[in-house]
Structure 1
Amino acid sequence: MAGLFSRRGFNIESLAVGTTEDSDISRITIVVDGDDYVVNQISLQLYKLVDVIKVQDLCKTDYVGRELVLFKVAFNSSNRDDIMHIIEIFRARVIDVSRNSMVIEATGDLEKISALEELLRQFEVLEIVRTGLVSLERGDKILKDYEEEINDDKNVL
């Protein structure tokens, strides 16, 4: 899939893949920077892949999205309390501590994660790893509803 995008000049900002409530189906959340034309072209390319069930532009719906990020930050006795205060404000948590560094875990929307990163950068950030955005459409509609719509459309053809 990444090769399909790169061959056509589309830049993926984030790609997250995981299993769903149905072990035979994986959900892929892709974040790309582009206008409606770019998003439409990406959708058309994805539908060419055999196993794609549904492509949905969540920016056109009401959705919730979250990302997980881990920061490894160096600390010393003079800045430890400042770092801990920032962590508390962002409802992040320390998941590992060594003599001179700590690993901080945070989840949230892209704005929250970016704001936390910006504040932690005033200290010595040693490493960052981000999962990429995962998201779901708000409301009662679920993936199975889309499968039924698609199967109904196939039966009409």
Structure 2
Amino acid sequence: MRHTISVLVENKFGVLARVAGMFSGRGFNIDSLNVAPTHDAALSRITVVLKGDDSSLDLAIKQLRKLINVVEVTDFTKDQAVLRELLLVKVEADAKVRSEIMQICDIFRAKIVNVATHEVIIELTGDEGKVAAFLGLIEPFKVTELARTGQLALTR
């Protein structure tokens, strides 16, 4: 089962390594990992999406709470949180197909953030399903480069 965990930590050297090491030491496979400072420069939020069973996850959360520099740990379910992902994708787009790509972007409320002679860079924000659906429609236009943030989450 997939789980999204938010870990609020002190913004200090080595904290990320301890948190990620704790998950890998418990046999979890991390699907995505995001780390960034919060509005308080002394704190960072680590958002981890991982696969594992519920009982192992409960033990891992208890261990996380014991780690030095961990302030708060939250296990999100879909009802409790707003989950979003950012996607940047570079697509081949000559003059013949550019309008079709723009229509797909309009449908998904994606933004074209860079236009070159033979390619465009598109930015999309949304949940996992929206990102997957967009990629499915844009794939025939030859994706040349892609970057994703993985999920970010905040409680409602």
How high is the TM-score relative to the length of structure 1?
0.80
Give the structure with the larger strand fraction: 2
Q: How far, CA to CA, are the matches of 1:45 and 1:125 in structure 2? A: 41
Q: Number of matched residues?
A: 138
Taking a change above 3 Å as real, the CA distance of residues 81 and 61 of structure 1, as seen in their structure-2 partners, is closer
Secondary structure class of the residue paired with 1:73: strand
Give the structure with the larger helix fraction: 1
Equivalent in the alignment of 1:74: 92
**In terms of mean alpha carbon deviation, does 43-52 or 121-130 score higher?**
43-52
Q: Which ranges of structure 1 fall in alignment gaps of 5 or more residues? A: 139-157
Shift of residue 38, structure 1, vs aligned partner = 3.2
Q: How far, CA to CA, are the matches of 1:70 and 1:41 in structure 2? A: 35
Secondary structure class of the residue paired with 1:82: helix
The 5 Å alignment of 1:82-121 reads: 82-121=100-139
CA RMSD in angstroms, aligned pairs only: 1.6
How high is the TM-score relative to the length of structure 2?
0.81
- Structure 2 residue identity aligned to 1:59: T
Equivalent in the alignment of 2:152: 134
Asked if 2 retains the 8 angstrom alpha-carbon contact of 1:61 and 1:137, the reply is no
Tell me the alpha carbon deviations over residues 29-80 of structure 1, each in whole angstroms, 9 at most, x when there is no partner.
Answer: 1111223123213313322320111111111752111111100001122221
